[in-house]
Structure 1
Amino acid sequence: MENSRFRQRKLPAKVGMRGPLQVEGDPSHLFEDTSGNMDASGSGYEGGASFSLTRQGFLNDPMVSNLAMAYGSSLASQGKNIVDQNIDRFIPVSKLKYYFAVDTIYVGKKLGLLIFPYMHQNWEVRYQQDSPVAPRVEVNAPDLYIPAMAFITYLLVAGFALGTQSRFSPEVLGMQASSALIWLVIEVLAILLSLYLVTVNTDLTTIDLVAFAGYKYVGMITGVMAGLIFGRTGYYVALGWCCISIVVFMIRTLRLKILSEAAAEGVLVRGTRNQLRMYLTMAIAAVQPIFMYWLTFHLVR
């Protein structure tokens, strides 16, 4: 009896134990069918691929490319206009183009006029529609090409002269360039202040004054080159000639600019104000030889 009860009691336990074993050993539970998920993921991949192909086709569309190019061009033009407007506030690029409108014939004539101004008769600048003509067609017009090139050439000649005397160094050449540039700025500012104090109404601009003040570098180069070739005697002769030439050039050029108000009003050049204008013109011309000698005498020994 006791064994039969034990069997009856153990039988459910065996059945219960067999139940979990059958569940764990069931292949349907150990290896789950994921073919449905694979189909779902495969369909998603195909959708992503089709979207990528659609995007590439959209980008390769000629109409879209043309619209993008047109939009980019419009943005570039707008940016260029903004930059040009902001630059013109500080640097008058449009005006600077006028001062660099030169050619080889003009440069040759201008250099000859700076060295031999004595035979030149007509010093007036021609105008066209209330604006001066370009320097390449008017030798009397101021330009910035010759002053800029003369300044650079002066530094090269100065470096060569210092090298022949075993005194060359980058620091010395830098000091030479800084000194020449600082004296040029001081000269232009002094002229502007003098014109303001004398109350002269003239069409001279700051760029014109820079151009006229920069013409003296041509005579400075000539003097230093003559000194390198012929010694100090050649330096003094060439520099003296160039100093007289630049004085004549400045007086004949600036008197038409500074005395233009009196000429326009038909007033004779007399009286206190007109005398001050004449003295100012002569002072501007007379200071040129001083700068020419001060910036070159130490280069020739």
Structure 2
Amino acid sequence: MYDSLGAQTGLPRPPPNPQPNPFGNAFVGAGSGLIRGGLGAYGEKILGSSSEYVQSNISRYFSDPQYYFQVNDHYVRNKLKVVLFPFLHRGHWSRITEPVGGRLSYKPPIYDINAPDLYIPLMAFGTYVVLAGISLGLHGKFSPEALNWLFFKGLVGWFLQVSLLKMTLFSLGSGEAPLLDIVAYAGYTFTGMCIAVLGKITWSYSYYFLMPWTCLCIGVFLVKTMKRVLFVEVRSYDSSRHHYLLLFIALAQFPLFLWLCNISVNWLF
């Protein structure tokens, strides 16, 4: 009768009464809780370990980029003296450490003249490109394409210098120096190149004196710096091979200077 009434009057039909299962909800709730808890703990462990691994490797190889721009006028003047006149530097070549967070860390450049920075290398690289463009203009060869080519040529030279210093560290069993440190040390080469190119613009004959002098100074600066890095980080090394590699770094500056200071649109000359 109810079925016929519901069908006739259009009233909603009540749902059938399901058979109660007192254990089903308990098993489902406990299982989902165990799955959520297990997966959460496992995921947190994986993500935590991976984030720690990434952070440790980033700080190990790249360090903090802001560290390399903590400079002032006093630091820039003194650093240029050390780079361009390393023979006159009477102080030590080692960096100053300080305890930070329970471990030793290096003081920023503003407090340590021996700390690497990226301000001077980037400014020197930009100045090198500008002087190269002026030199091309004086010879009637300036064009945006030629300036772009010299910019790319300077980047290739910077990369070659970084590769040379990095391979030296690897060959002596110490490849753990932060990459930005190596980039900064390699970028100081452009300070000497700027002086050589400026001398070539103002008086062409001065180039034949300024280029060898600045090349020699940059070579001595890199040798002094690399000796400090190697002595600090290398635990065991071959002394004879160590000196040969440092000599190779100094001698490699001459072809690099000849190539980059020759302002032309050609690849080799």
Q: Give the TM-score of the pair, scaled to structure 2.
A: 0.69
Query: Tell me, what secondary structure is at the counterpart of 2:70?
Result: coil
What displacement does 1:280 show?
A: 1.9
In structure 2, the CA distance between the partners of 1:195 and 1:94, relative to structure 1 (3 Å rule), is: closer
What is residue 125 of structure 2 aligned with on the other side?
A: 151
What is residue 76 of structure 1 aligned with on the other side?
A: none
What is residue 42 of structure 2 aligned with on the other side?
A: none
What is residue 112 of structure 1 aligned with on the other side?
A: 81
Q: Return 5+ residue gaps in structure 1 as ranges.
A: 1-84
Match of 2:228 among 250, 256, 261: 256
* Residues 136 and 263, structure 2, Cα contact 8 Å, conserved in 1: no
Query: Tell me, what secondary structure is at the counterpart of 1:201?
Result: coil
What displacement does 1:246 show?
A: 0.8
What displacement does 1:236 show?
A: 1.4
What is residue 47 of structure 1 aligned with on the other side?
A: none
Structure 2 CA distance for aligned equivalents of residues 131 and 91 of structure 1 = 15
In structure 2, the CA distance between the partners of 1:116 and 1:135, relative to structure 1 (3 Å rule), is: same
Deviations 1:232-286 (A, max 9, x none): x111111121111111111111111113356xx6x8xxxx722222222222232
Counterparts of 1:81-160 in structure 2 under 5 Å?
95-121=64-90, 122-129=92-99, 130-160=104-134
Matched to 2:81, the amino acid is G
**Pairing 1:277–2:242 present:** yes
Identity of aligned residues (%): 32
Query: Tell me, what secondary structure is at the counterpart of 1:298?
Result: coil
What is residue 219 of structure 1 aligned with on the other side?
A: 192
* Residues 135 and 263, structure 2, Cα contact 8 Å, conserved in 1: no
What displacement does 1:137 show?
A: 1.3
In structure 2, the CA distance between the partners of 1:224 and 1:120, relative to structure 1 (3 Å rule), is: same
Structure 2 CA distance for aligned equivalents of residues 108 and 115 of structure 1 = 11
Instruction: Return the structure number with greater relative CO, CA threshold 8 A, min gap 6.
Output: 2
Structure 2 CA distance for aligned equivalents of residues 138 and 203 of structure 1 = 21
Q: Over the residues paired in the alignment, what is the CA RMSD in angstroms?
A: 2.4
Match of 1:200 among 170, 173, 177: 173
Matched to 2:148, the amino acid is G
In structure 2, the CA distance between the partners of 1:252 and 1:195, relative to structure 1 (3 Å rule), is: closer
* Residues 99 and 145, structure 1, Cα contact 8 Å, conserved in 2: yes
* Count of residues in correspondence between the two structures: 204
Matched to 1:109, the amino acid is N
What is residue 13 of structure 1 aligned with on the other side?
A: none
* Residues 193 and 257, structure 2, Cα contact 8 Å, conserved in 1: yes
* Residues 166 and 175, structure 2, Cα contact 8 Å, conserved in 1: no
Deviates further, 245-254 or 272-281 = 272-281
* Residues 63 and 178, structure 2, Cα contact 8 Å, conserved in 1: no
Matched to 1:209, the amino acid is I
What displacement does 1:199 show?
A: 4.2
Deviations 1:137-187 (A, max 9, x none): 111111111001110110011001100111000111111111111222233
Counterparts of 1:1-301 in structure 2 under 5 Å?
95-121=64-90, 122-129=92-99, 130-196=104-170, 198-201=171-174, 204-231=177-204, 233-261=205-233, 273-298=238-263
What displacement does 1:225 show?
A: 0.8
* Residues 142 and 211, structure 1, Cα contact 8 Å, conserved in 2: yes
Matched to 1:289, the amino acid is F
Q: Return 5+ residue gaps in structure 2 as ranges.
A: 1-50, 265-269
In structure 2, the CA distance between the partners of 1:186 and 1:245, relative to structure 1 (3 Å rule), is: closer
Deviations 1:204-254 (A, max 9, x none): 2211111111111011110111111111x1111111211111111111111
What is residue 46 of structure 1 aligned with on the other side?
A: none
Structure 2 CA distance for aligned equivalents of residues 190 and 230 of structure 1 = 32
